[in-house]
Amino acid sequence: MNLRALIVSDRPDYRQLLAHHVTLEWRDALPAEYEPATRGRLPAGFTGVAYDVVLLDHEVQGGRGLDWIADFRSRPAFPPIVYFATGSDPAVLERARGAGAIAVLPRTEFEHADLCGTLRRALAQRHNVLADTSRAALSQVSPDRFGSVHIRGYRCVRRLAVGGSSSVYLACDTRTDEQRVLKIFRQVPDVVEGSTTFDRFLREYELVAHLRHPNIARIYDIGVADDHVYLSMEYFPGGDLRARMREKLDPATALGYVRQMAGALGALHEVGVLHRDVKPGNLLMRQDDSVAFIDFGLARQLRLESDITGAGAIFGTPHYMSPEQGHGTPLDERSDLYSLGVVLYEMLTGDKPYVAETPLAVIYLHANAPIPRLPAQLSPLQSLLDGLLAKKPQDRPPSATAIVARIDELLQSAAA
């Protein structure tokens, strides 16, 4: 189980220290950071729903950490708070606990094992609270109730998953009696004054909803219910590509999947949409063994912009991110193509191209390490991989369409 942590401190070096402790234990974690000294108080609508725990430095705003605890605990369903106190004054420690911190640790002399044990306790508490809330909501008799949200026209069958930004349900469309997946975003959009996230979210998903491509999941409905955005999408009982990849795929099968993915990305790119989160978990399998993209990276965009993340932040899964995405620089279609190359390498070898101790180290390798070599029996595919995993966008194929054409050549050559 991964950990989603928010670190609040005015000191960049202290935020990095806490992030280091987190990533030593949860290697795929990518802690978010917030600096009150330059950004002030968190917006009133920020509820921390995207996080499992908040690590709060006593020294924020000149030693006003206790005031921040009180502010956080006044927000509904706020995550557990781990407080890092200066000194060992029993009065300060008692006030921090009384204000609602799940644990109080010394700011500079805590043990790594103590911090990790505290974070595991916070993680368990957070998941128990979310599970209890969901069970209580699901016990309601109203068939159109999904957690705390009523959505007319759909009947709840069961909950499929709960994430940091959304809950996912299997539902029945009462108009057609067909099964659908409802994805309900937990954070109400536009909590930050002047935010245009919700407008962009609807505009981009409406573009995708009008696409009719066999390798893009169908979106049937986009709407707002009880102030929550929801999507009604195609249901995939076959699971995701990650499950299919538990066994190493033969080259023809891997190329066939990549061809489908490239075709879908080409359709998205034509309407101006970047996926931004190409990875096996975002590719679902149909019964005919075809794959279809879901998500399009927008769930992450909605969650983070509704919370606190500013310009230049790093989004996504580090193992699949392009060098430019990992460093927070502007992206174009070729960033998606790089991620496609990572998926291709993993399908062919069973391994990720770059693995390291921390997410930041993985990001560094994507930008600086040599492109990995395929085994000798797969050498005919090396040139395709070299193009996809080129460090500079201008050295990659110019479009997804070019990748489809290249794969067709490789498949024809193999069949000859």
Provide the edge-to-edge strand list for the sheet that holds 178-185: 154-162, 166-173, 178-185, 228-233, 219-225
Q: Residue 8, SS3?
A: strand
- Strand ranges, E, within 190-295: 219-225, 228-233, 283-285, 291-293
Backbone torsions φ then ψ of 99, nearest 5 degrees: -75, -15
Helices (H), 106-250: 112-138, 197-209, 241-244
Say how far apart CA 246 and CA 260 lie, in whole Å. 19
Question: Please, what sign has the CA dihedral across residues 41, 78, 359, 272?
Answer: negative
Query: Which is nearest to 228 in space by CA: 190, 187, 265?
Result: 187
Answer yes or no: 289 catalytic.
Answer: no
- Measured at the CA of 361, the angle between CA 348 and CA 243, to 5 degrees, comes to 35
Give me the catalytic one of 277, 295, 307, 336.
277
Structure tokens at 116: 């990790």
Task: Confirm if 213 and 263 have CB atoms less than 8 A apart.
Answer: yes
Show which residues are catalytic. 277
